[in-house]
Amino acid sequence: MRKRAGVPADVAALVSALGDDRTVVTLANVNPTTARTVVVQAGAYAEHQIASVAVNGRTLPVGAPDVTVQLAPGSGARLTLVMKRYVNTPTAAFPWDR
């Protein structure tokens, strides 16, 4: 089955801060029984690079234009993405097709 673009069913996303080098996004999986996978991409055309992501008090290196997040049933996560802007060649390809 081909993945589709956009936020998966039963997942909500809220961008609460957007700056020159960081974005804060909260993801919530409201489905009580099924886990969800969300791919967060830096920029509409992957033109930015995610240097690191902070979640639940841990900072993890990324070094890519996207990051994949697994959300357990009924859970949420607040992500702080630290980014380098305009370092990648823009592409219209989806992350799972690159």
CATH number at residue 18: 2.60.40.1180
In a domain, 52, yes or no: yes
Residue 42 lies in a domain: yes
Taking CA 15 as the corner, what is the angle to CA 23 and CA 46, rounded to the nearest 5 degrees? 55
- Entry pTM: 0.88
**Residue 8: predicted pLDDT:** 84
Query: How many domains in the chain?
Result: 1
**In which band, very low, low, confident or very high, does the pLDDT at 89 lie, cut at 50, 70 and 90?**
very high
Q: Which whole-number Å values give the CA distances from 49 to 12, 53, 67, 75, in the listed order? A: 23, 11, 10, 26
Checking if the pLDDT of 1 tops 60, the result is: no
96 assigned to some structural domain? no
pLDDT in tens, 4-60: 667 888 999 999 999 999 999 999 999 999 999 999 999 999 999 999 999 989 999
Q: Can you tell me which residue has the tokens 């990648």?
A: 88
Residue 80, pLDDT above cutoff 80: yes
Domain of 33? 11-90
pLDDT for 36 equals 95
